[in-house]
Structure formats: C-alpha cells, structure tokens
Amino acid sequence: MATTNLPSGKDKVVFVLGPTGSGKSKLAITLATQFNGEVVNSDKMQVYDGLDVITNKVTDEESAGIPHHLIGGVHPDADFTASDFCREAMHAIDSVLRRGRLPIIAGGSNSYIEALVDGEGGVFRSRYESCFVWIDVDPPLLHLFVSTRVDEMVEKGLVEEARSEFDRDGDYSKGIRRSIGVPEMDGYFRMEASVDGATRARVLEAAIAEIKFNTCKLTCNQLQKIRRFCTLRGWDVHRVDATGFFLKRGREGEGEAWEKVVAGPSKEIVQRFLRG
C-alpha cells in the first residue's frame, strides 16, 4: 500500500534513475507489482505519440497490467517542455495517490526529474517525500548491451519508423524528431533511391553505427547528471549495482541474477522508505 508519512504529512514517491538500457522500466514494474504502484514515465521522448520501437516504449506485455502514465499522448510535433512535464507529472502523481497507490517515476530524462524535484520554489519537496533508486551498470557492459539493442530495434522496424519522421528540410530540432535513431537516418533516406544495393547497405550500416555511438554517448551524459544529483544536489540516492545482472543477461541464471542483484536490493530500499 502507498503510505502517507504522518509526522511530515507528505506523500511518498519513488524515483527509478539510471541511464538508458539499464533496466529502469523493468525495475519500475517490479516495484509497482510489489508495492501496489503505478508508473509515471520521465523519458522526454516517450511522452510523444509514435516511434514506439525507437524510443523503446514499454509494451503491453512488458507492463504486466501495471498502469503507466505520460507514455504517448503528446503530438509528435509539439514542443513538450520541462515545465509541461512538471505539470503533467504532478497531475499523474496525485491521481495515483488518490487511488491509494504508490507513484513510481521512471525514465532517463534527468533534466526533467531535476526540474520536478528542485524547481518551482520547492513545491515538490514541500508536498512529497522522495526515495531515489539508481540502477548503475559498468559502462562498457552497458554500451555493449545498448548497441545490441539497436540491432534488435532494426529488426523490429527502426528504419521504417525513422522514415515516418524524415524531414526534407533536415530539421530535427523539435518534438519526437530529436529522438536518437531519427536524425542519424536522414542521409540514408536522401540517397537510398539513387545508389546501388551495396552502397545502400554501407550507408545504412554507417547510420546504425552512428545510432549506437549516440546512444552510448547519451548513457555517459545521463550518468554524469545522476552523479551530480548525489554530489551537488545532495539527494539521498540509493545506488544498486546491476553489473552482476548484466553479466548474466541472455544466459542461464538471468532471472535469478535479476532478483538477487537488482530487484531484491531495490525492494528492500523501498520497503525501508515506506516504513520510515
């Protein structure tokens, strides 16, 4: 059950932090299942309608019946800002609390999370008590994983999704077009009809390599921002080292490793927070 902290009168919310590919969505669903929660997305690209594969939105099957908020619903061309996110996230959090459930905010857009928690004259901190769980992963292992995930996205239809957002003017500065996986494909779409098959394949390979590189770069930037939350912002962030799970990924014992290394320790952290 979601609980209210009686001495402070504040409602409790849980944040799942971590770079892209670290397993935030899976952990948020695990925690929501355990603690009667609902998930509020904090990924700035997943709030838009479309590009389900490229932005790696949670599927119905993955969500395991847990309600998710702020996934889709915003027009792909709209400019959804940090203050839009703060307003919508607060609405979603309050609606989850009204149902007597625990809000679990999960997503990689740390500038949005920072604006929510520390922006607007301290409103958030005055109303909610927060628990931050950070999934950390050894960077080279994470880079390997996200690169493989890009190959899987290609198999699931990344190229056609990106084509739907191809911009003849080459403007990828707005809305969902900023998603990694869209601007990188621009050159390919411009030349695919006018070159031979071998050249086309080479250009596509180069675009995919660029998507992998930019995704790895994104994980590094996200990690830096999370470290800053701990040092400069002084948030009480609980680090869960998921490296042991990543070493088992795709192999026998993966499920046990998830439970032992990531899910188990995270559940303990949240349990203590809810009891406190």
**Which of 12/68 has CB closer to ligand ATP?**
68
**Which of 130/215 has CB closer to ligand ATP?**
215
Smallest gap from Cβ 113 to ligand ATP, in A, equals: 8
* 56 touching ligand ATP, by CB under 6 A: yes
Q: Are 11 and 97 in contact (CB under 8 A)?
A: yes
SS3 133: strand
**Which of 17/257 has CB closer to ligand ATP?**
17
* 124 touching ligand ATP, by CB under 6 A: no
Is the dihedral angle over the CA atoms 31, 32, 34, 36 positive or is it negative? positive
What is the rounded CA–CA span in Å between residue 121 and residue 117? 10
What is the rounded CA–CA span in Å between residue 56 and residue 51? 8
Residues comprising the chain, all counted: 276
What is the rounded CA–CA span in Å between residue 44 and residue 51? 13
Which residues from 225-254 bind ligand ATP, rule CB under 6 A?
Answer: 225
**Which one of the spans 22-30, 38-46, 139-147, 267-275 is the region binding ligand ATP (CB under 6 A)?**
38-46
Smallest gap from Cβ 166 to ligand ATP, in A, equals: 16
Binding test (CB under 6 A) with ligand ATP, winner from 18, 50, 103, 108: 108
Q: How many CB atoms lie within 10 A of CB 199?
A: 12
Which tokens hold the place of 71?
């996934």
Binding test (CB under 6 A) with ligand ATP, winner from 10, 149, 178, 248: 178
**Which of 103/107 has CB closer to ligand ATP?**
107
What is the rounded CA–CA span in Å between residue 68 and residue 41? 7
**Which of 103/108 has CB closer to ligand ATP?**
108
Binding test (CB under 6 A) with ligand ATP, winner from 22, 55, 219, 266: 55
* 43 touching ligand ATP, by CB under 6 A: yes
What is the rounded CA–CA span in Å between residue 35 and residue 52? 27
Binding test (CB under 6 A) with ligand ATP, winner from 25, 30, 109, 266: 109
Give the C-alpha distances (Å, rounded to integers) separating 52 from 47, 183, 190, 257. 10, 16, 23, 28
Smallest gap from Cβ 82 to ligand ATP, in A, equals: 7
Smallest gap from Cβ 41 to ligand ATP, in A, equals: 10
Closest to 262 in 3D by CA, of 20, 12, 21, 22: 22
What is the maximum alpha-carbon separation in the chain?
Answer: 71
Binding test (CB under 6 A) with ligand ATP, winner from 16, 29, 45, 226: 45
Which parts of this chain interact with ligand ATP (CB under 6 A)? 43-46, 54-56, 108-112, 178-181, 218, 221-222, 225
